[in-house]
Structure 1
Amino acid sequence: MGLIGGMARTAVVAGTATAVSNRVSRRQAGRWQQQADAQAYQEQQYQQPVYAAPPAPAPAAAPAASDSDDMIGKLQKLGELRDQGILTEAEFEAQKAKVLAGL
């Protein structure tokens, strides 16, 4: 084999080395990604959800005859918030009691 044969052998070896190197790199990157995904999943499992505090109730005057429409409107709004899932049943009952007490 002469010069061309030696060059051909070098090209084959270099090509094989490149292919093996690329495969090893992809496999290692895949392993790192799996480890990162597993760690992110574990961290997500241990995080506690953060909830916003419910809004403070607005002060209301003592109910009068003209305020009955206002009271009914507030009760309807509270019912809508409960139906939409914004208020829990306990929060709804607490707010309803405040409206009925005129607070």
Structure 2
Amino acid sequence: MPQRFGRPGLLGTIARTAVISGTATAVSNRVEQRDMRRRAAAQAPQMPAAPAPAPPPAPAGTNRVAQLTQLADLKTQGLLTDEEFATEKARILGS
């Protein structure tokens, strides 16, 4: 069979069209899915972070300094927010 040069034949044109169409469809679907995920993330209700568990109550007679040091360590580790730290500090100091 002789080789043809120049313009593609009918089958070549159909094949090229199918490849272009398939690629365009795949790209379009990915873009649509990405947009749907972004919209879903934007519409999802923002759940507040669960509050960190409060440190267990100290037994009677425990040194306040030790409690405050332990509380400061929890805050440094990122387990307590500033608000939680202030609340527990006020409880320990009896204010």
Aligned residues: 90
**2:20 corresponding residue in structure 1:** 23
**2:30 corresponding residue in structure 1:** 33
Q: Confirm or deny: 8 A CA contact 2:52 2:79 kept in the other structure.
A: no
- % same residue: 26
Structure 1, unaligned stretches of length 5 or more?
none
Q: Secondary structure at 2:9's aligned position in 1? A: helix
Shift of 1:81: 2.7
**2:92 corresponding residue in structure 1:** 99
Partners of 1:93 and 1:57 in 2: how far apart?
13
The AA in structure 2 aligned to 1:100 is: L
Partners of 1:18 and 1:85 in 2: how far apart?
60
Residues 34 and 22 of structure 1, relative CA distance in 2, 3 Å threshold: same
Per-residue CA distance 1:58-102 (angstroms, 9 max, x = gap): 122333xxx32xx3232122223323433221100111123334x
- 1:76 paired with 2:69, answer yes
The AA in structure 1 aligned to 2:79 is: I
